Structure 1
């Protein structure tokens, strides 16, 4: 069940971060409120995930996959430029998360 909660936490964190962009620095009320709701739900799901998963592993996966997914969202949704150096750094993060999972 921990993996399901972790997956939900990642999806909610990704959604909250995308909505953060639409909040325009807290100048738009609805996106600002939704951002806090999604982040709160994400942390709640992460909290439930660490009941059965190691905290270090769960947090590394949550933050690492969140970084990868929000980078892709920025590229596709907001047309942000991603340099080769940034891709290499993200790959290192993903390799690190995989390394933590492999005992």
Structure 2
């Protein structure tokens, strides 16, 4: 159940960060509300996750997966460029999260 809550927290954070792109410095109401709501939901779900998943593991997955997904959204949907350094960075984030989980963090 903890990892399902964590997946929800990641999804909410990704939605919030994507909406943040469209807030125009928090001058547009709807994207601003979506951003705030998404981050609130994300932190609430992350807090619930910490009941069953260690903080180091949960935070590494939450931040790493969120970063990798947002970078991917930027490339495929927001017109941001992709180069070898960016691709390597995303790959290293994913590898880092996997290694942390394989290390038996409790």
Q: TM-score, normalised by structure 2?
A: 0.93
Whether 1:51 and 2:51 are equivalent positions in the alignment is: yes
- How big is each residue's C-alpha offset from its partner over 1:12-46, in whole Å with a ceiling of 9 and x where there is no partner? 00000010011111121111111001100000000
Deviations 1:79-100 (A, max 9, x none): 1102210111121111110011
Q: Within 2, Cα distance between the matches of 1:74 and 1:98?
A: 23
Tell me which residue corresponds to 1:93: 93
Residues 16-27 of structure 1 correspond to what in structure 2 (within 5 A)? 16-27=16-27
Higher helix share: 1
> Quick check: 38-47 or 86-95, which moved more?
86-95
Residue 81 of structure 2 aligns with which residue?
81
CA RMSD of aligned residues (A): 0.8
SS at match of 1:51: coil
Task: Show structure 2 runs of 5+ residues with no match.
Answer: none
Tell whether 2:69 aligns with 1:69: yes
TM-score in terms of structure 1 length: 0.96
